[in-house]
Amino acid sequence: MVEKPLDIDQKLCKGCGICYTLCPKKAIKGDEKGKVVVDNPDLCSKCGICESHCPDYAIFVRREKK
């Protein structure tokens, strides 16, 4: 089973498109309303650029505890 790389809070997402435009791996995309959804979980490198540039705090990248 593939672990979910990202938590997305769709209630907070305003669909600005910053996250999936910035995503270097194209792991996420916009749905029909432009809101973020995970497209290819396997591609996600957990770089966090989506999380740190989400103006709406809708994304949380799951990282392993050190």
Partner 1 sequence: MRPELQKLFRMDKLPHIWCPGCGHGIITRAIAEAINESDLDLDKTVIVSGIGCSSRAPGYMHFDTLHTLHGRALAFATGVKLANPELNVFVLTGDGDATAIGGNHFIHAARRNIDLNIILFNNNIYGMTGGQYSPLTPTGKIASTSPYGNPENNFDIPALAIAAGASYVARGTAFHDKLLIDCIKEGIKNKGFSLIEAMSMCPTSYGRRNKMGNAADMLNDLKTTAVNINVAKKLPPEKLEGKFLIGKLHHKPYPEFTQEYDKLIAKLQKGAE
Name which of 27 and 54 has its Cβ closer to partner 1: 54
Nearer to partner 1, 38 or 51 (CB): 51
Which residue lies nearer to partner 1 by CB, 39 or 56? Answer: 56
Rg of the chain on CA atoms, in Å: 11
Q: Contacts with partner 1 in 5-64 (CB under 8 A)?
A: 11-12, 14-18, 21-22, 51-57, 60
Residues that bind partner 1 (CB under 8 A): 11-12, 14-18, 21-22, 51-57, 60
